[in-house]
Structure 1
């Protein structure tokens, strides 16, 4: 069992994890380089906030 296989279920729920964009050099992946300061949105947490907290905001 590898670390990649252990964390795969969590990785696939990160919002925009496989995001690409069209550039003059072709389709390229978005590289997120600020995991320490802010991290990425995590789908299950965002859904919970939208469902349970959002109606009160």
Structure 2
């Protein structure tokens, strides 16, 4: 049994990802993942991913 998965792609920004999450607006987004210094809470690194990438991936 083969199941097909619909993948939505933005016509204006194909690098973005379609995000559906409870309590959040639905649509094409980017997510930023931050590394923070524990002592001073300064952001030391940022990694940006399409909105459809799970938080555990980066």
Is TM more than 0.5 here? no
From the two aligned structures, give the one with the greater strand fraction: 2
TM-score range, shorter chain: under 0.3
Q: TM-score, normalised by structure 1?
A: 0.24
Q: TM-score, normalised by structure 2?
A: 0.24
From the two aligned structures, give the one with the greater helix fraction: 1
